[in-house]
Amino acid sequence: MSYDLVIKNAEVVTASDSFKADIAIEKGKIAAVGKIDARDSKTIDAKGLIAIPGGIDVHTHFDMPFMGATTADDFRTGSAAAIFGGTTTVVDFAIQKRGEALKKALDTWHEKAHGKSAVDYAFHMIVVDLPESRTKEMDAMVKEGVSSFKLFMAYPGIFMSDDATIYRALTRTKENGGMICMHAENGGVIDVMVQKALAEGKIEPKYHALTRPMSAEAEATRRAIALADMAGVPIYFVHLSAGDALDEVRRARERGQQVFAETCPQYLYLSYEDYERPGFEGAKFVMSPPLRPKGNEERLWKGLLRNDLQVVSTDHCSFCMKAGEGKPGKELGKKDFSKIPNGAPGVETRMLLLWDAVQNGRLTANRFVELTSTSPAKLFGLYPRKGHLSPGADADIVLIDPKKKTTISAKKHHSAADYNPYEGKTVAGAIHSVFLRGERMVQGDAMTGSATRGAFLRRAPRS
Ligand code: URP
Ligand code: ZN
Ligand code: ZN
């Protein structure tokens, strides 16, 4: 039989199995997995390489205006960073402005992404303004394939929703099959702490973390879980950072409530100590929720093992330290930590940082695939098209060379950010090749496919 391409002799790893096999690709889809007669087909020998489904990062912010700045990465550079890092699908966030129709926000983000992405992409909708009269717009979004909505319990005056709005949004997802994704931090209390710190002359980056305590995240998590329970719908927590917030998630799951959560590599590998780097260096790590004290990460690793956490995404939200190309950078907050644009790059390093955890024995290879691809695909309506290596799925495949090592550096990354939070860190493995719908996009350091191959994905509602 002749196929467009056959990847031979790979060590295939899925969320459930690991086995040696060939993978046949036809018209951008996986046609067969097993022992394949490839005599009449183009072949790639993957002996000694691990084949996994393309990474799915369900939390990126490309071309996002925020806190007086705009992210360093737009869809071109952000998606290049993604594909070189082994991620073939991102779910980014369209942002509703106050008083604006959700459709208008979606159109704006379609325009930002269309024809510029190297990876397939979908959108969540950030909802900031939801009177009863607008709730039906959520139904229309779900029909357009935007089947999840992010709400904020933080950032008063910018993104924050009150409990009534959150409850209204949650209730609507009972009708339309959407999923509410929650940024859980008590924004009101945090604001009081921030103002007090500034009034006392505490202006350095570390005060960002010291004014956003774990309990502010745990309280909001508990409250959101109660609101979801009252509405009788599932809820998903984005960028969960605090062990105390995870305890709330675990307890709710033990009670039988459908509560899901992601964490991000920064909360597994970095810590509060990074804010105490000399000078203004700590600003590189200013993000919300903040990095937590050393020891907290062990609670998150345990949560990943126990499936209290189901997803590792990145919250890729890159700002340069210095202004450039007309874009202000983190230096906006040199004299006031509360003005440092919140966020850091991560989409390019997620897969290998987690693969390193496999080599260190923290995760099995199957769990690695589940956390970085299969589970996000299932939770966000992309499965079985994405997130699995089986016939009929898109041929989004990453080949990892397990014998190599990779040293992370801004000098060679593809993000437009002028720093990398993991600068100098060496991790196990290297991305050998990345395929998006059958096209080899990346081979080692080279982009071999079309940098604009990425297409919009309509996601299914919860079933
Ligand atoms: O600091 C962060 N996380 N910036 C991006 C916005 C968000 O809350 O996800
Ligand atoms: Zn957030
Ligand atoms: Zn985010």
**Cβ-proximal residues to 106 (8 Å cutoff; 6+ apart), any chain:** 94, 123, 125, 141, 144, 146
289 prior amide bond cis, ω within 30: yes
Considering the four listed CATH numbers 3.20.20.140, 3.10.20.30, 3.30.1700.10, 3.90.1150.10, the one that applies to the domain covering 55-366 is: 3.20.20.140
Ligand 1 contact, 69 CB (< 6 A): no
Q: In this structure, which residue's CA is closest to atom 8 in ligand 1? A: 288
Q: What distance in angstroms lies between residue 153's CA and the mean position of ligand 2's atoms?
A: 9
Ligand 1 contact, 288 CB (< 6 A): yes
Q: Which ligand is nearest to the CA of 182?
A: 2
Pocket test for ligand 1, best of 59, 60, 61, 70 (most atoms within 8 A of CB): 61
Percent of the chain scoring above 90 in pLDDT: 98
**Separation of first and last alpha carbons in the chain:** 37
40 and 5 Cβ atoms separated by less than 8 Å: no
Taking only the tens place, the pLDDT of each residue in 191-239 is 999 999 999 999 999 999 999 999 999 999 999 999 999 999 999 999 9
Q: What distance in angstroms lies between residue 99's CA and the mean position of ligand 1's atoms?
A: 22
Q: Is 406 helix (H, G, I), strand (E, B) or coil?
A: strand
Residue 317 structure tokens: 């939200």
Ligand 1 contact, 248 CB (< 6 A): no
Q: In this structure, which residue's CA is closest to atom 3 in ligand 1? A: 288
Q: What distance in angstroms lies between residue 238's CA and the mean position of ligand 2's atoms?
A: 6
Q: What distance in angstroms lies between residue 127's CA and the mean position of ligand 1's atoms?
A: 14
Instruction: Tell me what percent of the chain is helix, strand and coil, each rounded to the nearest 5.
Output: 35, 25, 40
Q: What distance in angstroms lies between residue 71's CA and the mean position of ligand 3's atoms?
A: 12
Ligand 1 contact, 315 CB (< 6 A): yes
Strand order in the sheet with 148-152: 55-60, 87-95, 120-126, 148-152, 179-183, 235-237, 259-263, 311-312
Ligand 1 contact, 413 CB (< 6 A): no
pTM of the model: 0.98
Q: In this structure, which residue's CA is closest to atom 4 in ligand 1? A: 343
Q: What distance in angstroms lies between residue 239's CA and the mean position of ligand 3's atoms?
A: 7
Pocket test for ligand 1, best of 59, 150, 239, 339 (most atoms within 8 A of CB): 239
Residue-level pLDDT at 296: 98
> How many whole angstroms separate alpha carbon 303 and alpha carbon 315?
19
Ligand 1 contact, 289 CB (< 6 A): no
Q: Is 233 helix (H, G, I), strand (E, B) or coil?
A: coil
Domain ranges of the chain: 5-52+385-447, 55-366
Ligand 1 contact, 343 CB (< 6 A): yes
Bridge partners (DSSP) of residue 260 are 236
Residue-level pLDDT at 117: 98
- What is the average pLDDT value for the chain, to the nearest integer? 98
- Residue at token pair 């709710």: 252
Residue-level pLDDT at 327: 87
Ligand 1 contact, 342 CB (< 6 A): yes
Q: Which residues of the chain have pLDDT under 50?
A: none
HSE (side-chain half, CA atoms, 13 Å) at 287: 29
Query: What Å distances lie between residue 352 and 323, 331, 366, 379, 411, CA to CA?
Result: 29, 29, 14, 22, 17
Q: In this structure, which residue's CA is closest to atom 9 in ligand 1? A: 315
CATH code linked to domain 5-52+385-447: 2.30.40.10
